[in-house]
Structure 1
């Protein structure tokens, strides 16, 4: 299957950017993490939002979180996410959700990180695309950020300093703009028209953050969605072409590559306009593809495509029986699975993706303080 690896020159350029960004501050490190995105980064916002509606969605319940200190925190996995491994490696606390009880203690905690990502969020404001509960699009998340700044950092000058010292994650976002229509069975040719709109929306948010004082932004691309269990079970057919090496749907992975290529091109253009800002593309696609190609090499002895927690359909996925419901089952050894619930990955998979993304020894010496074995790089 064709992939879109970053060239050696561009990868080296990204490492230089990261090294330069880590030298911006006296301690050689970031003082906080600010995050926007969807379920790949949500550390509990949708759970707090759902409580306002008295809803207990399945992924707020066990077995979600069974490896996260045995807590269902609202993370869409059995344990930690990429953002958690990143925070641990930076020596920062795990990034709290913005929508948690906003007491004075939380405002103090937000000075070391705050997460505005919401599971189910889209990049675009709803245009026939419906969030599970409400509009929590990237624009809404950015508005929350702007509104909350005075309570976190005070005046204009302090807030510019706070933003400038923060590592800002813009995404992953945009995947749900495609997920909702694709999983409804809409043709991929029509959905391709969304991609430039999604990229423009991400670009607009990046420009806003730069105007507010952002100095280092990490912008992840999309995963190879043709390898996700939900797509394989829902969108695959006898007429589809599958990658013989991985078993993934080729047409859906090509779609993800199209999004990622356009995103990278746009980020390069923004970088040229802002040479004093570090804009880093995080290559989620190529960080996870080795796992799908060689799952056994990484300890995934139950393969890469079957869901650990599911409803016993194709690939152990059933769209009418979500993980966490009474009718579903969960595997005994989640660490031997890549896919957790058919839509999200296991903590074990996210740990390896993080190592693939964040593994440059030079950056580890400059910035990373933990002994988790995860350093920062931005490509494979």
Structure 2
């Protein structure tokens, strides 16, 4: 139950931009469900012919319109939230809508189909119709509720205030695949997906427009593992079935459908900024059960309990038919609790119970489930790893100090930051109520009570055989920074434990805080820079798997040292840095994109980020007690650059400090003789109007804008506010 409550807590966090509500205030008052027979609690049965026995026999004792021997996943979700089972919207007899309504109907599709209920079992109540029913439901129940003269007149009606607080569940898509498989080839089927997914997005948008904010969206299960798909294939070709016995081609189509669905949900998260959209991987959950059936107490994974499907003859559960002159009654099996499939299409009460238990805790969700309540999410410290985008003085202390005009806007003096003021890591610290991080390498007036910063300008993920003096590459690569942290933890813990009084512990972190701290990682830009200096773009991309492996090793080591909450930035649009766009007097067509950014370098950065995200997803399964939040800095920075003037900045690709013209580079604060004239690379008059500080790094104003847009989770996967980053551990 706690995960669904945490899901709703997230929408509150989004609304108040990072202010965490206590989870005890986070009560979901109602559920509104949209879908097909996987979650229909009686809609089709009421609208058409009622489902007869033996459906319902295990739990209810009578048919209830559910395609199972008992409860569905939606029933277990309602139970987990302390709510009654949902009444079907189309069932007018003894309906109670006080705690929500169910618009799902068996046979429903996302996209309207020109097929009938009577011939192919296709519901006329497609997703768009269900949404229209909800609109009517909301309008009419609100009218009657507000017109009520006493409490009894309000009985069985939802409180109008609850619509914005309710959970909106969508479980649909299986019948869209079924319709495809009946009439189209698999490639033709896949070609319909963009339109289907767009119809899905339109439905979500309409629900959002009608007040929905918390969405719990199931993808479609392994269609090729339905017994109805695996029967009646006496002489299959090699590779037709996978190792479990499922139809590989149909599962591959379902996987592609789910990929496009998830991509659309990710897009919707940016478009519906104050909504929480949780994508639930039902395919993975169901596939895990099927592939591990016997260990979970079930018999043969692909058998079914009720029905007759042999030799090309289909007699559906509860019906009778004549086979070779013999009457066959498609009754149920002796013990449905030992079988996964109820009727060769739907799941038994026991299987639904297993699946529900494994999705309700967030194990198969994106965002993944929380391990603790939001009220306990107090981050006592930050440990940062990275490059100059988050270096608060490390490289400056180790080598030459950064001089003016760096630091001029906020600090008034140089502080070792590559900016006129604060960096994103500074705004993160402010958000969490923590002081700015002292650099690990800066021994002067360092205070490590609330964390430390191991980032250094020029740092890379992968060790590079280049020097700081020639190419500005830091000797403190990510693996070295992790080793520094290990030493830091050991030594500070020793001195903390040896301290005889409180003053001896001043400026030292409490050893207990290491497991509760936030571990931020912002690195990778210099790995691209090294690539672009010496390799073709294709050669550069070929190095990424090794770089990602080094990154994963660093995260694994931090995890082994006790880190649990990770906040990981991807790399920004490299091709939009002014240093990348200058000195190209006669570019070929297509060299720059519509913003003026170098398209080839930005494309390489996009591929880098794709592989980084894939690796983080993999790490989530390998590090079961960790919360890994992936922050799309590329998208955040690109949005700022593409909308610079509307956000109060001048030309998006200009820079404030430095001189970069005609093949000559004079870096911020330096001077040089050019054609007999001394050029001093001073700062501009108003850095707050410029995005780039020095043609590579960002101004304080730009960093502030970016920080404000990532801190609330708008660009994160999972989309959690940074104040809740520690509450999203996965329990796979």
TM-score by length of 1: 0.82
Distance 1:39 1:336 in 2: 21
Once the two structures are superposed, the pairs formed by residues 200-349 of structure 1 within 5 Å of their partners are 200-234=549-583, 238-239=587-588, 241-242=590-591, 244-300=593-649, 302-311=650-659, 313=661, 320-326=665-671, 327-349=680-702
Corresponding residue to 2:456 among 113, 118, 126: 118
Corresponding residue to 1:198 among 530, 547, 560: 547
Distance 1:233 1:365 in 2: 35
3-state SS, counterpart of residue 666 of structure 2 = coil
Contact 2:573–2:602 at 8 Å: present in 1 too?
yes
Task: Give the stretch that moved more between structures: 12-21 or 66-75.
Answer: 12-21
Question: Does residue 86 of the first structure (1) align with residue 425 of the second (2)?
Answer: no
Question: Does residue 40 of the first structure (1) align with residue 394 of the second (2)?
Answer: no
3-state SS, counterpart of residue 286 of structure 1 = helix
1:66 is matched with which residue? 408
2:370 is matched with which residue? 20
3-state SS, counterpart of residue 35 of structure 1 = strand
3-state SS, counterpart of residue 204 of structure 1 = helix
Q: 1:263 to 1:236 in 2, by over 3 A?
A: farther
Q: 1:21 to 1:216 in 2, by over 3 A?
A: farther
Task: Quote the offset at 1:31 in angstroms.
Answer: 0.4
1:163 is matched with which residue? 514
Task: Quote the offset at 1:333 in angstroms.
Answer: 0.8
Contact 1:123–1:201 at 8 Å: present in 2 too?
yes
Contact 1:215–1:276 at 8 Å: present in 2 too?
yes
Contact 1:31–1:165 at 8 Å: present in 2 too?
yes
1:359 is matched with which residue? 712
Task: Quote the offset at 1:178 in angstroms.
Answer: 1.8
TM-score by length of 2: 0.44
Question: Does residue 8 of the first structure (1) align with residue 359 of the second (2)?
Answer: no
Q: 1:16 to 1:61 in 2, by over 3 A?
A: same
Task: Give the stretch that moved more between structures: 227-236 or 197-206.
Answer: 227-236
Task: Quote the offset at 1:185 in angstroms.
Answer: 6.0
Distance 2:388 2:542 in 1: 23
Contact 2:579–2:660 at 8 Å: present in 1 too?
no
CA deviation profile, 1:99-153 (whole Å, cap 9, x unmatched): 1116xx73xx313010000001111112357663751111111111111112323
Task: Quote the offset at 1:305 in angstroms.
Answer: 0.3
Contact 1:122–1:138 at 8 Å: present in 2 too?
yes
Task: Quote the offset at 1:162 in angstroms.
Answer: 2.5
3-state SS, counterpart of residue 8 of structure 1 = helix
Distance 1:175 1:242 in 2: 20
Distance 1:71 1:331 in 2: 16
Q: 1:334 to 1:276 in 2, by over 3 A?
A: same
2:6 is matched with which residue? none
3-state SS, counterpart of residue 288 of structure 1 = helix
Q: 1:187 to 1:244 in 2, by over 3 A?
A: closer
Contact 1:227–1:248 at 8 Å: present in 2 too?
yes
Question: Does residue 180 of the first structure (1) align with residue 180 of the second (2)?
Answer: no
Distance 2:531 2:558 in 1: 29
Q: 1:71 to 1:202 in 2, by over 3 A?
A: same
Contact 1:221–1:263 at 8 Å: present in 2 too?
yes
Distance 1:38 1:366 in 2: 23
3-state SS, counterpart of residue 398 of structure 2 = helix
Task: Quote the offset at 1:276 in angstroms.
Answer: 2.4
* Higher RCO (C-alpha under 8 Å, 6+ residues apart): 1
- CA-based RMSD of the aligned residues comes to 3.2
Aligned length: 346
Q: 1:193 to 1:155 in 2, by over 3 A?
A: farther
| Rg larger for | 2
